[in-house]
Structure formats: C-alpha cells, structure tokens
Amino acid sequence: MRSVGRLPDSRIAAQLRALILAALAVWALALPGGMALALPGALPGGVALAQNPAGLPMDIPSKPVAAFDFTAKDAGGQTWRLSELRGQVVLLNFWATWCIPCRAEMPAMQRLYEELAGTPFKMLAVNLQEPPARVLAFGRELKLTFPLLLDPAGEITRSYAISALPTTYIIDKQGMIVRRALGSRQWDKPAAIAFFRRMTE
C-alpha cells in the first residue's frame, strides 16, 4: 500500500529537476567569457562575468547549486554516475565534435587531466547527441584519455540548461556547482592547475 501523501519517485525527480533548472537559469544570461558556439534558442548575454582565482573568466553563483545527478555511458561502454564521484572535484564539460571552440580547448583539458592524475579529480566530457563511433574517433584523433560520455537523447544537456558549446561546470567535493564557464578556456594555465589543486586538497 502506498503511503498517503507521498509523491511517486518520478514526480519527486521531476520537482528536483525543476528546482535545479530554475537555479541554473539564473546563469543562462551570462556573457560568454571566451569563444562560444551558440545553440539554437540560446539566450542573449547580459550579465558581466566574475573573475575566479585561476585567472579564468567564469561565473560564480551567489551560493553553490547542487549538481543534477545523472548516469551515462562513455564511448567505450563504461557506465558513470555523477553522485558516485562525491568526494572528488569534477570538471563537467559539454561539447560536440562539430564545435570548433570545443576542439580548441580539448588539448588543454587533456593536459590538465594528466597534471592532476593521482588527485581526487575527475573530468567528464558530455557529448551532445552524436554516435559513439564518431566520439571514439574524435578522442583517438586528439589522444584524449578522459571519459567522453554519450547523451543520445540530450537529457543531460537539457538538465544543465546548456545554451552554448562548450560549457563547463566545476563541481566541488560535496557535489555542488561552484563555477561555470561559457566558451573555451586554457585549462592548463599554471594558475588554473594551482586552482584545481587547492580545490582537491
């Protein structure tokens, strides 16, 4: 017998998604701090970016926002769940193979990933609705070793209110979004590496 007054799990999930989207929507008006490829329907910019300690222009929320949990397979078939990475800093990137700014920042992402090997740091790159074979080929071409996740229906992308590619969220060890970057960044700058090392301590 179902308890009186208890919402079905699907309705609870829908309400949580709506709350997170409402919080992320506040950021959707920010001007891109680097090159960005706007998707159809992207909102025009209008809010100045804050400067983060790494010297990279990124949005800083007035208070941390809980990252929306998801499960996805990477191009090699391994399953990843965001909440299982709690206790680690996560760089969550949204990209596509046809996105020139995405391609431009991937080598720097790879160098950051290698620099932080052995620390509580993970990098997940969510691809927007492309076939696994194309994603795998792209990864091999650029010699990428961090997980390239598949989002065939675009559900993860919608959950994070993505309006431009690339977009990157920085998630702290408690699972809270603490930074957002619209557009490409030079993620392997010494100051950026130092910033992530401080976050992982």
Percent of the chain with pLDDT over 70: 73
Q: What is the pTM of this model?
A: 0.76
CATH number at residue 85: 3.40.30.10
Which token pair is 39? Answer: 């998707």
In a domain, 4, yes or no: no
Contact between 49 and 31 (Cβ < 8 Å): yes
CB-count exposure of residue 189 (10 Å: 0-12, 13-18, 19+): middle
Q: How confident is the model at residue 95 (pLDDT cuts 50, 70, 90)?
A: very high
Domain count within the chain:
1
Which residue segment(s) compose the domain that 66 sits in? 9-200
**Residue at 3 is within a domain:** no
Q: Residue 112 domain-assigned?
A: yes
Q: Is residue 2 part of a domain?
A: no
Q: DSSP readout, the chain?
A: -PPTTPPPHHHHHHHHHHHHHHHHHGGGGBPPSS--EEPTTPPPP-BPPEE-TTS-EEB--SS-EEPPP-EEEBTTS-EEEGGGGTTSEEEEEEE-TT-HHHHHHHHHHHHHHHHTTTSSEEEEEEEES--HHHHHHHHHHHT--S-EEEETTSHHHHHTT--EESEEEEE-TTSEEEEEEES---TTSHHHHHHHHHHH-
Please state, rounded to an integer, the average pLDDT across all residues of the chain: 80
Task: Assess if residue 196 is contained within a domain.
Answer: yes
Q: How confident is the model at residue 15 (pLDDT cuts 50, 70, 90)?
A: low
User: Has residue 1 been placed in a domain?
Assistant: no
pLDDT in tens, 31-81: 333 333 333 323 223 333 444 555 678 888 877 789 999 999 999 999 999
> pLDDT tens across 114-142, in order?
999 999 999 999 999 999 999 999 999 99
